[in-house]
Amino acid sequence: MVVVSKNPVYSVLWLIFTFFCISGHYILLNAQFLFIVNIIVYAGAIMVLFLFVIMLMNLNKSSEPQKNRWLRMAGVLAAGCLLLVLVAALKNIDIKKQVAETNTGDIGLIQNLGKALFNEFVIPFEISSILFLSAMVGAVVVGKKE
């Protein structure tokens, strides 16, 4: 639905729906911190940013010209080939007894993740804050009128 919608606004709304489904999987896996972060960051911030950009550009009429049908078919064919190769490679793999635990296990709780984040992962955390600052400055510099 994200791919085949003609209208980009519908595409964004289906993508939000997909992100909520993925968040449901996170909460089934008892990863509550990632559930909250996924809802807030992806379904909240990023998708609102997409919607604002689409409405800013006034793209809600389907202005996409029809491209070459052969190129489109080649794209679908390439993706289908990737699907075929991955499924064929992983079909007979011997991990059927490996089970991802659902509803139990407390590594996904905020307490344990926070302890690990601020003890052994504190340097990447600070570096990611610098990355955010540079991304913000870069977005402003790129987006301003020259």
Binding to another protein (CB under 8 A) within 4-23 occurs at 8, 11-12, 15, 18-19, 22
Q: Taking the complex as a whole, how short is the minimal distance between the CB of residue 120 and another protein, in angstroms?
A: 9
Residue 55 near residue 7 (C-beta atoms within 8 A): no
- 24 interacts with another protein by CB under 8 A: no
Residue 8 near residue 54 (C-beta atoms within 8 A): yes
- 116 interacts with another protein by CB under 8 A: yes
Gap between the Cα atoms of 6 and 58, Å rounded: 14
DSSP state of 86: H
The sign of the dihedral angle between the CA atoms of 93, 96, 97, 101 is: positive
Q: Taking the complex as a whole, how short is the minimal distance between the CB of residue 68 and another protein, in angstroms?
A: 10
- 27-86 residues in contact with another protein (CB under 8 A) are 28-31, 33-34, 37-38, 41-42, 45-46, 49-50, 53-54, 56-57, 59, 63-65, 67, 71-72, 74-76, 78-80, 82-83, 86
- One of 70, 87, 111, 123 touching another protein (CB under 8 A): 87
Residue 40 is encoded by which pair of tokens? 């807030």
Residue 9 near residue 51 (C-beta atoms within 8 A): yes
- One of 17, 20, 124, 126 touching another protein (CB under 8 A): 124
Q: Give the position of tokens 């987006």.
A: 143
- 110 interacts with another protein by CB under 8 A: no
Residue 23 near residue 39 (C-beta atoms within 8 A): yes
Q: Taking the complex as a whole, how short is the minimal distance between the CB of residue 15 and another protein, in angstroms?
A: 5
